[in-house]
Structure formats: C-alpha cells, structure tokens
Structure 1
Amino acid sequence: MTDAMADVYGGGPSLDVSHSGESPEPSPAGGPDRLPGDNPEPVEEASARVRLDLGYDGTDFSGWAVQRDRRTVQGELQRALAQILRLPSVALTVAGRTDAGVHATGQVCHFDVPETIWSEQQAMLLRRLGGVLPADVRVHSARVVSADFDARFSALWRRYVYRISDRPGGGDPLRRGFVLSWRRELDTDLMQAAATEIIGLHDFSAFCKFRPEATSIRTMQHFTVQRAADDSGEIVCELRADAFCHSMVRSLVGALITVGEGRRAPEWPASLLSRSSRADDVPVVAPHGLVLAEVGYPPDDELAARSAVTRNRRDATTPGCPA
C-alpha cells in the first residue's frame, strides 16, 4: 500500500479476560483467539495508480516542486486533488521538476488513491480540476496505469524545446512570455554543428548547477536547431535526453548562442564536456523560452525493468537513473 493511503480498522475495544483465570480454548487454526469485541486485523484497501498529463504556464510559478511560502505547480495541483478527492493530502511524483519560469505542455505525474474513491470521482475529475485549479495549470488526462508505472523512474526520455527570436525589430509581442528575444542575428547552421557534437553519453557537469549526491551523467539522444517554417522565423532548439540536470538545457542553449553569434567555435561547447565542474563562462539563458514538451515511456511490460535500471546511479559508461 502506498504512503498516501491509510489502513482501515473496524470493531470496538478488545475484551480483557485475564482476570477470569481461565484460558479460552485454542482456535481450530491454531492462530490468535478472537472473542466478541476484539479488534479485527487491519484491512488494506486496494489502491489505484493514476497518471496525469498536464501543462502549465510557468511565468508565475517558482518551479514545479513544493516550496514553503512560494507558489508552485505541485503545490497547486496537490491542493486541488486533495480537495476534490476529499483526502487529507495527495503526494505527486513527477517526470521533470521544472525550474521557476519554465513552462510545460507535456508534463507527467502520478499519485496513488484508494480504488473506492477513484471509482466515485474518475468520471468528473477533469471537469472538477478545471474548476478548482488556477487558469495557468490544466490537466489534460487522468487514467489508471500499472502499479509498475513511475512518472520519474519509468521514463525513457524527456523532450524540451527552447525558442528564440532574432528578428531585428524584436519578436512577436503576443509570444514574449514564451520566446527569448535576441538582438543579434544567429547562424543556425553553426549552432546545429555545435549541437551535433553534444549527442551521446557524457558528463554534463560543465552545464549543470551543482547539487550534492546528484549525478550529471546524461545521454543526449537528440539535439537540433532549426528555424520555424512559419512566418515567425523563430529558432527552435529541441533536446531529448534520458534526463536533464538543473539548468542543463538553458546552459546548453546559452553556449550555442555564443556559437551562433560567431563568438565561439562550433567545437567549443563539446570541449567543455571534459570538465568535472560548472563552467563559469557558459551563459544561462532566461527560463521563459523553455518548455517541457513530452516524456516517453516503455510498454507496460517493461516498466518495472526500466524503473530498476534508472534507480541505479550512473557512471560515464553505464546508463542509469535521473538525478
């Protein structure tokens, strides 16, 4: 049974017969004897694991994770779920703990709930969440999944998208909260050349904010830099990896911008992968251009195996878990 669920007890106070001097006859099964009024054994109520797919505008949030006296996505969603499901609390496990100001269109999280409560609430949950949650958070789907599913540890990859506008007159004012405006023209061919060198299994310490006991070993599976085909002319940086450490995406994009401006050679970002600590000369771009777009998972029959693998800390030659 999960942490979010409680045992259900029944019966009244136990009857103390020790004063009688007599021992009741043993039960036929040889187990503990029961008398009228004895407490029965605790009964564990069956639970359901529920996956939520959601999106949010991160502008006014201090990131995903709950923080004291700060507005966070996790805090808002847990409060809404507890209110609707009439539970003391709900504990969410998330695929990607986005930073302050970062948005999401494809975030995934899960929680456990007693099956009786889920059966009563599932039909109207999305509509009720839409009425309780603030306008900058929306849950797109809610469904029961295998007990082996773990939003964080079962994930095969996360896909992030970072958008930049380098138009001379500035970007679209209606998209200013989701696109970084850059005053100098960027060469996307040079940026793509630099991005290609980043693909593979590496120690990304140079691009990550240090966190004790967290690994910076990651496998970059996909990294492209292209101009959008529409009239916006926005530069779209798309990154997919098994996991990302703190500030990693924004640092990589910052490094590529220096290449796109011609201030650094395309080989420079990859040369930093030999470092074992944060590179101070790597700029970290603003969070508002970044979106968590998608999280990928294996088939149900591979979930348990994937979770077991990713819970193991990685070294530079063995894939493992996200920090």
Structure 2
Amino acid sequence: MPLPSPDVNAGSLSAVSPLQPSPGAFVRLRLDLAYDGTDFAGWAPQPRLRTVYGDLSAALTTVLRQPRPVRLTVAGRTDAGVHAKGQVAHVDVPESALATLPGRSDRAPEAALATRLRGILKHDLVVYEVTRAPVGFDARFSALERRYRYRLADPDAVRDPLRRRDTVWWRRRLDVDSMNHAARSLEGLGDFAAFCKRREGATTIRTLVEFSWERRTDGVLEATVRADAFCHSMVRSLVGAVVRVGEGLRDPDWPAGLQRERQRGGPGGGLGGGALVVPALGLVLDEVLYPADSEVAERSRLTRVRRHVSELA
C-alpha cells in the first residue's frame, strides 16, 4: 500500500469536517461522478465562472431544499479543462431531507437523489451513484491512490475527430520506448517539487506508483499515471517532461535530473529549461481507490500526517 500523503491536490474549500456526522442528524454520502471538463473552469468554485463544484453544489442544494449551499469534499480537485471518469466526492446532508426524496416510491433515498441529480444537471456532468459512506470515510483523505490517463496523437496515430475533446494532437513523432525509460525513472517515493506549482506550507513528497506509456492499436499514445496523491499540475508537468524525451530533444535521464533539483525552474533549468506543462484536455481522472470500509478512518488519520523531505534519506 502506498505511503500516506497529506497535501493532496484534492481539497475541500471548507475546513476539515468531522469524520462522521452525529447520528440521527446528518448522513455522509459518497458521490461517484464523471464529467467532460471542456466547459468547466475546473472543480473549485470561482466567481462568475462555471465549475464542477458550483454546478453540483447548486443541484444538491435545490434537490435537498437546503437554505444554504451544500458543501462538498472531493478526491481530486481537477484543473480547468481536465476530465474525470471516476471522480469521488462526499457531502454531509440532513437525514430528514434525504428521507423525503423517494416520495411514495419504494426506492432507497440515495437512489432517488442520484436520479434527481441526473435530471437537473447538464449532460457534461453525471452522478452515477450515491451511497451512504462508511464511518470515517473522507473522499480526500481516505483515498489510497488516484489514477490518471493522458492521451496524445502524434503523426503516426489515427486522429479521431470524435475524440478531439480528450486527446491532444501532437505535431512531432514520439518514441514510446524512450518515454517509458524516462517515466520509469521517476517512479517511487520522491520529492516532486520540480513538477508542481508550489503552495505555501504544502508538501511535495509523493509516491508515484506507476508512470507508463502504451501505443494503442490506433497509434494513440496513452500514459497511465498512478500515485497516492498529486500536487497542483503535477501530472501534466510529468507528461510534459517525458514528451521532450519522446521528441528526442532530451535524454531519457533528464526528467530524473529535474526531480533531483527539487525546485521548479531550478539552476539546471527546471520546467523552464525545455520542459512544458501539456494541455489539460488530454488528461482524465480515471479512478480513485479506497481501502476496505473498516480501514477508511485510519487511512484518513494517517494521510493527515505531514510528510517531510527527511523521509527520502
């Protein structure tokens, strides 16, 4: 199991909520959802901009007839233009409000909520399932691992116009073998400061479980990136560094050299020295993994423990 990482790029805008609401008053729900990120300004609410949080909170507030906007906590706070297939969020709602949703039907209240949400949300945001969360569950802190996918179509790939919203068309040919060499050199526990937009007080220590590339039958290059957590822009920066290797502009060991600098734009160049942050549209959050129900509270506790560079010694 990957080591815990506290400062995931997955935060709630609210303070950390209790592990579980008081019995009989509130119930914690898990929401499994997906969205096409093209027309969203990311997950987090922003003034006068459409966001996934904003649309989902407004829908929940309406369906549950709440006097104040419903607040959500998410597993992976995606940037503008990033998609999600397996996103997870949690929300604490009044038990009484949930109980009224089935009306005269015999449906479970959670199923009734999912149906009503699908009825009012726009078609680029879908809540697949609503379930009661186990005691201690936190969509952000209980997660063991997040898996992302990135798609690139170089000149050797079939450029499918029906996939234009989730696949980046790349002008230069890419060598998948050298990209895999470079990607594997970054796997493991490490400081990924060179690939993150720094946030005050936030750790950049992560366990990169898998970083691999595959050329699919249609020629499209697809990356799988798995980690216990990701910091801001980390996946797109990792992909960007390895793409430079695939283009033949950098040696396969170059991304690992960037990582050792432990700072973005460091003396050896950092991300300003020939690397890039690739476009958001090729990135999809595929899956968030959690431990067994009996272990989610302990996982949440461990994840909140701040990690330090001394762990790398």
TM-score range, shorter chain: 0.7 to 0.9
Partner of 1:154: 142
Give the 3-state SS of the residue equivalent to 1:127 in structure 2: helix
- Does the CA contact (< 8 Å) of 1:94 and 1:152 recur in 2? yes
Question: Paired residue for 2:280, among 280, 287, 291?
Answer: 287
Q: Does 1:260 align with 2:253?
A: no
Aligned-residue offset at 1:242: 0.5
Q: Does 1:183 align with 2:171?
A: yes
Instruction: Provide, for residues 15-68 of structure 1, a one-character-per-residue CA deviation record: whole Å limited to 9, x for no partner.
Output: xxxxxxxxxxxxxxxxxxxxxxxxxxxx98422110000000100111001111
**Amino acid paired to 1:292:** L
Q: Which moved more, 1:116-125 or 1:193-202?
A: 116-125
**Amino acid paired to 1:77:** L
Partner of 1:251: 237
Partner of 1:131: 119
Instruction: Provide, for residues 284-305 of structure 1, a one-character-per-residue CA deviation record: whole Å limited to 9, x for no partner.
Output: 0000000000000011111111
- Does the CA contact (< 8 Å) of 1:208 and 1:251 recur in 2? yes
The 2-side partners of 1:124 and 1:145 are apart by: 16
TM-score normalised by the chain length of structure 1: 0.82
Give the 3-state SS of the residue equivalent to 2:96 in structure 1: helix
**Amino acid paired to 1:214:** A
Partner of 1:116: 96
Question: For the structure 1 residues 226 and 3, does the alpha-carbon distance in structure 2 shift closer, same or farther, using more than 3 Å as the test?
Answer: closer
The 2-side partners of 1:90 and 1:118 are apart by: 13
Q: Does 1:95 align with 2:75?
A: yes
Percentage of pairs with the same residue: 53
Instruction: Provide, for residues 243-298 of structure 1, a one-character-per-residue CA deviation record: whole Å limited to 9, x for no partner.
Output: 00111100111111111111111111011111232122220000000000000001
Question: Paired residue for 1:66, among 45, 49, 54?
Answer: 45
Aligned-residue offset at 1:204: 0.5
Q: Does 1:80 align with 2:69?
A: no
**Amino acid paired to 1:148:** G
The 1-side partners of 2:292 and 2:157 are apart by: 47
Give the 3-state SS of the residue equivalent to 1:63 in structure 2: coil
The 2-side partners of 1:114 and 1:146 are apart by: 16
The 2-side partners of 1:273 and 1:153 are apart by: 25
Question: Paired residue for 2:257, among 255, 263, 271?
Answer: 271
Partner of 1:242: 228
- Does the CA contact (< 8 Å) of 1:170 and 1:183 recur in 2? no
Question: For the structure 1 residues 139 and 195, does the alpha-carbon distance in structure 2 shift closer, same or farther, using more than 3 Å as the test?
Answer: same
Aligned pairs for 1:185-200 (under 5 A) are: 185-200=173-188
Q: Aligned pair count?
A: 279
Question: Paired residue for 2:199, among 208, 211, 216?
Answer: 211
Give the 3-state SS of the residue equivalent to 1:48 in structure 2: strand
Q: Does 1:304 align with 2:303?
A: no
Question: Paired residue for 1:201, among 186, 189, 196?
Answer: 189
**Amino acid paired to 1:60:** D
Aligned-residue offset at 1:120: 2.4
Structure 2 unaligned spans of 5+: 1-15, 102-108, 265-269
The structure with more radius of gyration: 1
Q: Does 1:105 align with 2:85?
A: yes
**Amino acid paired to 2:254:** W
**Amino acid paired to 2:42:** G
- Does the CA contact (< 8 Å) of 2:194 and 2:261 recur in 1? yes
The 1-side partners of 2:114 and 2:89 are apart by: 15
Aligned-residue offset at 1:179: 0.3
**Amino acid paired to 1:112:** D
Question: For the structure 1 residues 98 and 302, does the alpha-carbon distance in structure 2 shift closer, same or farther, using more than 3 Å as the test?
Answer: same
Question: For the structure 1 residues 116 and 103, does the alpha-carbon distance in structure 2 shift closer, same or farther, using more than 3 Å as the test?
Answer: same
Aligned-residue offset at 1:316: 2.9
Give the 3-state SS of the residue equivalent to 1:292 in structure 2: strand
Aligned pairs for 1:8-19 (under 5 A) are: none
TM-score normalised by the chain length of structure 2: 0.85
Question: For the structure 1 residues 226 and 317, does the alpha-carbon distance in structure 2 shift closer, same or farther, using more than 3 Å as the test?
Answer: farther
Aligned-residue offset at 1:221: 0.5
The 2-side partners of 1:192 and 1:318 are apart by: 26
- Does the CA contact (< 8 Å) of 2:157 and 2:219 recur in 1? no
